[in-house]
Amino acid sequence: MAIATVNPATGETLQTFEELAPEEIERRLTAADSAFRRFRARGLAERAALLTRAAELLEADQEDVARKVTTEMGKPLTAARAEAAKCVKAMRWYAGHAAELLSEERPAEADVRDSGASAARVVHRPLGPVLAVMPWNFPLWQVIRFAAPALMAGNVGLLKHSSNVPRTALYLEELFLRAGYPAGCFQTLLVGAAAVEGILRDPRIAAATLTGSEPAGRSVAAIAGDEVKKTVLELGGSDPYVVLPSADIERAARTAVTARTQNNGQSCIAAKRFIAHRDVYDEFAARFTEGMAALTVGDPMAESTDIGPLSTEKGRADLEELVDDAVRHGVRTLCGGRRPPGLERGWFYEPTVLAGVTPRMRIHREEAFGPVAALYRVDDLDEALALANGTSFGLSSNVWTRDEAEQERCVRDMEAGGVYFNGMTASHPALPFGGVKRSGYGRELSGYGIREFCNTTTVWYGP
């Protein structure tokens, strides 16, 4: 895949970029290694000041960078602005909380004595240069939620961003330099996927984090495992959205529209499988379909647009194949299911609701990365949980019920990295984020996220 900015609303190639030559990759790896040895010695207060300055610059750049993001991957401009604002919030949160999250731990005195020590403590030290392989769908947020905690912990970052968002990737490198970070602390590597293995195997790379597809995660995990290097993986999702009889159906249906179509439906944590109890199925399905059909599809730069184009032509083709397969196997299309008329130049697809999805259909098993919802009817909570867990993914989940016993049952039995009641899944810097099963492992955000790329070190003092 070429490294290029291609406007998905028009299909026009705006700019192409040359891949870094091997000697330039080597120079940047050397710079990262050198920067880490100096940067790790800087105190938390100094690191916090740098990250706060970066947040201030991003806040000032919000409109310009939002337009850059929308031009490269097609999300509505309003959503791109919100993504930039979310990054600012996370950077400030880590700047303000890192000292507490990384504070040393003191074992109980009785345990210290029992170990034969006069004193003991646990400290969290940075690992070194971390390679981040990041996707295009949240081209700012996915990077910042890695970079903010990693830099605050004293690590340095090397970003291999998706090849269709190079302008955004270069902006991020520039942002940290403008904020005053020493050269080498955060670098963008304009390279293709084929270069990742060599970079990851380089002994100067201490660890890696990847957000992306399951095949990409398998590849990075295998290479890192061979090199015995730490990885954090956030992969695909097919998140369930369960609606039970005690739910506020009007609010559940309204929120479901946002949960399915956020980011043009191109989000790992977007709800994708909508599972409604038979007692409320008809009302939920009608309200949900009405809300999906009412969305405005069009120019992502227009303030009135709800749904922009999919990011790539292949992405739309993949989505169409899933829908066409479901139709061939007897699904009922309640709305959408086609390219919208009048928008032939870009990679647009109508918000779609499919009812009567069965295990024979690919969409029952595979992640739909676009504004297409699969709708199911179940008889009880047992059936809802069996259907929700009947997938290889386990990123997050949404459950609408006011019954406390049902809530506790879902907390116990839902196979996912998160259970969100009476609302939709959303990431927040204070809450850990990640999945189970083939959605990956490790956690981002919160204290768990900042310590993922730390060496948790026991310090023991003899008598």
Given the structure tokens 């179940």, which residue do they identify? 378
Q: Is 83 helix (H, G, I), strand (E, B) or coil?
A: helix
The span from the CA of 418 to the CA of 400, in Å, is 14
Q: Which of the residues are catalytic?
A: 234, 268
d(CA 151, CA 39) in angstroms, rounded, equals 9
Whether 30 and 21 have beta carbons less than 8 Å apart is answered as no
- List the one residue out of 221, 102, 77, 204 whose CA is nearest residue 154: 102
DSSP string, 1-30: ---EEEETTTTEEEEE-PPPPHHHHHHHHH
Contacts of 113 by beta carbon, 8 Å cutoff, 6+ apart: none
The end-to-end CA distance of the chain, in Å, is 61
Secondary structure (H, E, C), 194-263 = HHHHHHHHCCCCCEEEEECCHHHHHHHHHHHHHHCCEEEEECCCCEEEEECCCCCHHHHHHHHHHHHHHH
* H helix intervals, 102-213: 109-114, 141-152, 166-178, 196-201
Per DSSP, the three-state class of 103 is coil
